[in-house]
Amino acid sequence: LEKAEYLFCVCGDDGVNAEIAFHARVLLPAKLSKPLTCVVHIIDPQLCRLLKEREFETERHDAFRLEFFNLFDYAARTILDAFPPFNGAKEKGAFLSHLLIVGIGNMGESLVVHAVRKWIDLEKRTGKKSRKLTISIIDRIAKEKKELLNRRYPRLKKVCRLEPLEMNIHSKEFEEGRFLFNSKKESRMNVVYVCLDNDSFALRVALSLH
């Protein structure tokens, strides 16, 4: 630790990562020629946000710097930059967009949050007040996930309308894909993001929706 400039805690467990950081801080001498920056991966996006706000309520340690990051948070921003959700979504000068997110785990939640932030930034940049951003979410417990998101992010309801579509991806209802279209049989969504844990299954779901 005395020779290192960076310590990365990237085990698959938030508690283990936090414990490593805590012990590193205790073991480190109070004075070093170069401070040690400890970068801690926190899987739970909500916990990561809370830790960033509080930054471990401990006394100052000049030789120790603590930073938290969440892989899903970075991935969501990268995906939205690579595949923008709002390009060309205009009607009579106002921006319109309807996103579909399949699977509301850590990745899906991060996509919802960052899509809403991009929507707010878009309104600020253009100076145009648009309708609420609509995000349909497909999950076996979509209604519960919607309530959880609204509770975690109170401002969400002001700019975003979450539409929960509670269904099993293996079901006939999903395979028929009626939720993709309006009464005129036109596509309701302009972007679909598939956020499932199994890569091959996620690819099959994406191809089925396409």
Contact 129, 123 (CB under 8 A): yes
From 58-67, 115-124, 170-179, the region with the lowest mean pLDDT: 58-67
Task: Provide the percentage of residues in the chain whose pLDDT is more than 70.
Answer: 89
Question: Looking at residues 138-154, what average pLDDT do you find?
Answer: 94
52-80 pLDDT per residue, tens: 776 655 555 567 888 898 899 999 999 99
Contact 36, 5 (CB under 8 A): yes
The reported pLDDT for the residue numbered 93 is 46
Determine whether 168 is exposed, middle or buried from the number of CB atoms within 10 Å of its CB (0-12, 13-18, 19+): exposed
